[in-house]
Amino acid sequence: MGKVYVFDHPLIQHKLTYIRDKNTGTKAFRELVDEVSALMMFEITRELPLEEVEVETPVATAKSNVLAGKKLGIIPILRAGLGMVDGIVDLVPAAKIGHVGLYRDPETLMPVEYYIKLPSDIHERELIVTDPMLATGGSAIEAIHSLKKRGATHIRLMCLIAAPEGVEAVQEAHPDIDIYVAGLDEKLNEKGYIIPGLGDAGDRLFGTK
């Protein structure tokens, strides 16, 4: 069974509070999502493997470490997942980025895929799927399914806020996936919104509605 990591770093928790706040406007919301995404990525990359190399400093030869292992791929779920990309890529600029376009049908809450464009070598990459909200889990489950169908084998899911229902659904559908969140909330309401959550992540990021 995949693990769930809730990042309790004080900076992440502090910034998440202002992301939740309904009085936070679009500009600040975007900036905060950027910052929290970078901080979460910093935590997620803590375990990346290293290899020792030699480097010439101006005065001597040093043994020093560089990243080894699989290259990274960042897969935002459109639209709202896009808001997490810049903060992540600031830390790992060589990562490739794939896009999965999904929206949640407002009546059925089922995900509808409308776009997919991925790096050709996803099967060789360590993929991080990003979406601020893990609500019913339908969108994340479908996105991960799409990636696996195309050969991806190493996938992690990074969300700002998750509902227990979504976590359970992803764990059941994809028991190999670890989930990383800044907040694990109470429940879903009857419209499939996370309570207390932050509202509609896409609308708040892009200033729509």
Q: For the chain, what is the largest distance between any 2 Cα atoms, rounded to a whole number of angstroms?
A: 66
132 is in an annotated binding site: yes
Minimal distance, residue 186 CB to ligand URA, in Å: 12
Per CB under 6 A, contacts with ligand PRP among 150-169 are: 166
Q: Which of 5, 18, 193, 206 binds ligand URA (CB under 6 A)?
A: 193
Q: Is 139 in the site for ligand PRP (CB under 6 A)?
A: yes
Q: Is 192 in the site for ligand PRP (CB under 6 A)?
A: yes
Q: Is 76 in the site for ligand PRP (CB under 6 A)?
A: no
DSSP per-residue string spanning 133-170: EESSSHHHHHHHHHHHHTT--EEEEEEEEE-HHHHHHH
138 is in an annotated binding site: yes
32 is in an annotated binding site: no
Please, which residues bridge with residue 6 across strands? 181
Which residues lie below 8 Å from residue 23, measured CB to CB, with a gap of 6+?
Answer: none
Q: Is 131 in the site for ligand PRP (CB under 6 A)?
A: yes
Is 108 considered catalytic here?
A: yes
